[in-house]
Amino acid sequence: MPYINQLINIIYRKRLIVIVLLHAMFAAASLYFSFLIRFDFTLGTNELQRDPMYYPRLFYYSLPINIVLYIILSAFFNLFQGIWRYVSVDDLKDIVKTSALTSLAFMSIIVMSGLFHGYPRSIYLLNFVFLIILNGGTRFTIRILRESFAPASDAVKNVLIIGAGTAGNEIAKALKTAKRKEYVPVGFIDRDKSKHGKRIQGLLVFGDIVSIRQIIKKHRVHEIFIAIPEASNKLVREIMDASKLPDWDVKFKIVPSMLDIMSGKLKLNQIRDVSIDDLLSRPNITLDDTVVRKQLAAKTVLITGAGGSIGSEICFQVAAYKPSRIILLDSSEQGAYSVDQELKKKHRDIAIHTVVGNMLDTGFMDLLFRRFPPDYIFHAAAYKHVHLMEWNPLACLKNNVLGTAALASLAERHGVKQFVMISTDKAVNPRGIMGISKRLAERVVLERAASGTLFNIVRFGNVLGSSGSVIPLFQKQIREGGPVTVTSPDTKRFFMSIPEAVQLVLQASTLKESKAIFMLEMGEPVKIVDLAKNLIELSGLRVCEDIEIVFTGMRVGEKIEEVLLCEEENIVPTSFDKIRVQRRTEDKTVRIQKFIHDLKSNVDLGNMKAIYADIAELIPEMSGPSFEEMMENMFR
């Protein structure tokens, strides 16, 4: 066994020499077999030829010509470079070209030299055929044997490419030229009927999406690459549904943006798995960032909750607009540290100050504002876990309401240009304490006396993948083998991706509306149970067979459906197509100031009854909980 391994290592190191020698053997064997076939498996003489060695001499004298020509043309068509175990139709085409040109050049030399009188003409055609059989047959035999006997972990995956356009062409080329062969493209699917039956990169365009199941069965497809950078969420869902087979699981990947493809930056490691973001019920929204760039460049930006899912994305997107300084504020040491390290690695030209602290530490916060006066504040810090906050109403009100009030006062005192607060649809007709706290925080920000600081709210629905989202819980349950728990089959939510949410926040900050609530045009809400099913399928599992979905019933603080507006709120369009604005007209500054003053005292005293009475007065549309329920939840 050690001797065999040594031999393999020597062959691998001398690979080029071995391959050249093999091609020389192919050329020699091809001419030899051609003579055997021509003379009935003997190199003997013809009856009309008195010299019994005449034809054998023709063979021996012409043999070096055939070998040299074949080696030269094989090098020209890169036959020495290919990996034989991954041989494809394209390689076969090169073999045919090499063999044809070799035979033509061989015939030209034999005829024009005048040294080979009576050379059998059939030899030229037989030589051409045998060159193809020997070279192509050897390569394909190696591929078949390897795929038949290779262990499963070493086997390559068959890939079907959806989209035979520019992206699909680039994907096929990248797969076929990759040094480490993990995938073998089997062909394309495309809706353009004019492409059906044609070949791209040597691969057949099979047909439309309706053909996918048939192609998966026939070619045993392991993965599907969606090579349509602008594919709508509906199309991605349609492709996934069309690929479902009862006894065969297929994984899905999607290409990056067309910008990366056209710029030549496409690499196989950029082809990512299809994510839940790709299955939203509406197209992803991209907003114009020209004004954002002009506004934030060379400015100082403070981001609260910088270690969280929304806050960290704000940090990364803000950094792309080249502010002079970013201040990361978070009470979580680990979250702040992670963002700090990544930002400093990517943006060495920006001053980044990471501060672990609490917004309610007014002395410390005042010191921070005096040391690094911010121009803009993006306030993402908040407690947002609905059920946890039901058990901790005092902590929720203290952090979300009093923390926001303290930060807003500091912003006014230190001349901050703009203060943008992140809110949620749970603040509309709130049912739980988290929604109540965010509704109160909205009013704290909007109902203020006039100052030099512009105050705004950005309100949106559930954010996929955020710490308060249901997605991480579902993913954890799937990893553990289920079941996936959903409150009700009728529960619906508005959804958007984290990058979309942050784009909205930054875009809204440029509109210069005073005391306004901005909202994204979010389309139709999505059923939570459908979201759970999509996640299970994206994990390569089957709903009910591999992972069960269990309905747990509605919990305290939850609603069947969320809305983005209260009944008395009216929204109007803005200069950005996908953003709407609701302007505040009532002035309740005095009442909200008194509430904040009283809330501080009542939180310190734990006077829940007084707090509840004030909340009921300020938020008459509140649908729960009752005071008794709040107290019961608090001491569970």
- The least confident of 16-25, 258-267, 423-432, 493-502 is 258-267
Position 421 scores a pLDDT of 93
Position 56 scores a pLDDT of 81
Average pLDDT over residues 328-342: 90
Residue 279 has pLDDT above 90, yes or no: no
Residue 548 lies in a domain: no
CATH code, domain carrying 597: 3.40.50.720
Do 354 and 328 lie in a common domain? yes
Residue 228 lies in a domain: yes
* Among 274, 300, 318, residue at a domain's last position: 274
Do 116 and 49 lie in a common domain? yes
Do 384 and 328 lie in a common domain? yes
**Which one, of 562, 234, 226, lies nearest residue 386 by Cα?**
562
Position 152 scores a pLDDT of 43
More confident residue, 217 or 288: 217
Instruction: Look at the block and give the residue holding tokens 């409150």.
Output: 487
349-375 pLDDT, tens per residue? 899 999 999 999 989 999 999 999 999
Residue 283 lies in a domain: no
Position 129 scores a pLDDT of 92
Residue 542 lies in a domain: no
Q: From the CB of residue 183, how many other CB atoms can be counted at a distance below 10 Å?
A: 22
Do 455 and 585 lie in a common domain? yes
Do 382 and 519 lie in a common domain? yes
Residue 140 lies in a domain: yes
Whether 197 and 204 have beta carbons less than 8 Å apart is answered as yes
Residue 397: CB partners within 8 Å, gap ≥ 6? 433, 437, 440, 599, 603, 611
Q: From the CB of residue 161, how many other CB atoms can be counted at a distance below 10 Å?
A: 29
- The least confident of 157-171, 349-363, 551-565 is 551-565
Do 134 and 162 lie in a common domain? no
Report the C-alpha gap between 426 and 403 in whole angstroms: 19
Do 208 and 270 lie in a common domain? yes
Do 227 and 258 lie in a common domain? yes
Report the C-alpha gap between 604 and 547 in whole angstroms: 47
Do 254 and 201 lie in a common domain? yes
Q: What DSSP line would sit under 524-546, residue for residue?
A: S-EEHHHHHHHHHHHTT--BTTT
Residue 95 lies in a domain: yes
**Which one, of 279, 284, 163, lies nearest residue 228 by Cα?**
163
Report the C-alpha gap between 381 and 335 in whole angstroms: 12
Do 573 and 624 lie in a common domain? yes
* Among 122, 149, 176, residue at a domain's last position: 149
Residue 109 lies in a domain: yes
Report the C-alpha gap between 258 and 370 in whole angstroms: 45
Domain around 106: 2-149
Residue 486 lies in a domain: no
Do 262 and 354 lie in a common domain? no
Position 137 scores a pLDDT of 84
Beta bridge partners of 199: 204
Residue 271 has pLDDT above 70, yes or no: no
Torsion sign, CA atoms 518, 521, 523, 529: negative
Residue 102 has pLDDT above 70, yes or no: yes
Average pLDDT over residues 623-630: 65
Do 11 and 73 lie in a common domain? yes
The reported pTM is: 0.60
State how many domains the chain has: 3
* Among 128, 149, 170, residue at a domain's last position: 149
More confident residue, 315 or 233: 315
